[in-house]
Amino acid sequence: MSDKAVVYLTRKVPEDGLAVLEEHCEVHVWPDPVEPSHERLVERVAELEADGLFCNVADIVDAAVMDASPNLRAIGTMSVGYDHIDLEAAAERGIAVGHTPGVLAETTADLGWALLMAGARRIVEAHQHVENDEWKTWGPTVLLGRDVHEATLGVVGLGRIGTEFARRAAGFDMEVLYSHTSPNEEAEADLAEYGIDAEYCELEELLDRSDFVSLHVPLLEDTYQLIGEAELERMNDDAILVNTARGEIVDTDALVNALETDEIRHAALDVSDPEPIGSDHPLMAHAPEKLTIAPHIGSASMETRSEMAVMTAENVLAGLRGETPPYSAFKDAGIEKN
């Protein structure tokens, strides 16, 4: 890069990541807190004749975006998931794509447990109980939740985040079940060091046996609406569903029905379909009694988001130099770049 390359950021990011880019590039940042529309994204990439694009999960980066600038040769997404990027189109055009795996596993696992505990012990309801001046005295049957300790935890997808989530069950003396594409012996060995004897089983058995079910699979063709009407019916009617993965992994209409008919006790979500979800959506009618929901903040700690921004910047810089990004989405997806 003899002349400064132009990099477009679709959102303001932590300063550490921005500083890495500004040292080498001419940086342009979308100024609004809400991401640009797809049409505006295409227009802005074209106007800047951008060499690099720094995006996130809210941006649809398809062939139209890639073709908007003849100079575009590097895309970095500040996320683990890359289902919002057309990797095949990028590979055909020789555009490098990087993502941020690993860095947010522990932070997202922490948030998953916050949701699990909030759903189990009715924390949001309890807060509103006090806020609404309904706390008149101690009551033996007021806001009864369910125990987490010695319960059965079902982890759907024992990858990085799923393993970190399962590891935290050690402090609650839980039985841990997991489903995966196949038994993950490496993860089992890791969990065994913390006293967890994780048992592999098929999804159907996991749903039958679990008190808490937590989703940690990527969004792929075969995981789209993985949890639908039949799966929710299999779950214990006192079970709690946790989702910190992708909203589309759960059939939202089926979930609304399951909550309405008490097929499950509670859903604790950091993601939704659609996303963002409006306050008038039928799912929201069940909050907070049967629904705890957060606005996709799984990785939202200061430390983790800063590290993600730096990783993304390094991925973009590598692509601009014609190198393979240190965290290549192509490598993880098994795609050959042209």
Distance CA 58, CA 168 (A): 29
H or E segment and range at residue 95: none
| CATH code linked to domain 5-103+302-329 | 3.40.50.720
Backbone phi and psi for residue 121, each to the nearest 5 degrees, phi listed first:
-105, 10
Domains 5-103+302-329 and 105-293 equal at CATH topology level: yes
Which structure tokens are listed for 248?
């589309």
- Catalytic, 122? Answer no
Q: State mean pLDDT over 232-256.
A: 98
Q: State mean pLDDT over 143-156.
A: 98
Write down the pTM of the prediction. 0.91
From the list 246, 266, 286, 305, the catalytic residue is 246
- Give the model's confidence band at 49: pLDDT under 50 very low, under 70 low, under 90 confident, else very high: very high
Q: Residue 338 pLDDT more than 80?
A: no
Query: pLDDT averaged over the chain?
Result: 96
- Give the model's confidence band at 94: pLDDT under 50 very low, under 70 low, under 90 confident, else very high: very high
Tens digit of each residue's pLDDT (9 = 90 or more) over 159-172: 999 999 999 999 99
Q: State mean pLDDT over 186-200.
A: 98
- Catalytic, 246? Answer yes
DSSP characters for 49-94?
A: T-SEEEE-TT--B-HHHHTT-TT--EEEESSS--TTB-HHHHHHTT
Tens digit of each residue's pLDDT (9 = 90 or more) over 271-281: 999 999 999 99
- Catalytic, 265? Answer no
Q: Residue 2 pLDDT more than 90?
A: no
- The CATH homologous superfamily of the domain defined by 105-293: NAD(P)-binding Rossmann-like Domain (3.40.50.720)
Measured from the Cβ of residue 302, the count of other Cβ atoms closer than 10 Å reads: 8
Q: State mean pLDDT over 117-139.
A: 97
From the list 122, 296, 307, 314, the catalytic residue is 296
Spell out the domain ranges in the chain.
Answer: 5-103+302-329, 105-293
Q: What is the pLDDT of residue 276?
A: 95
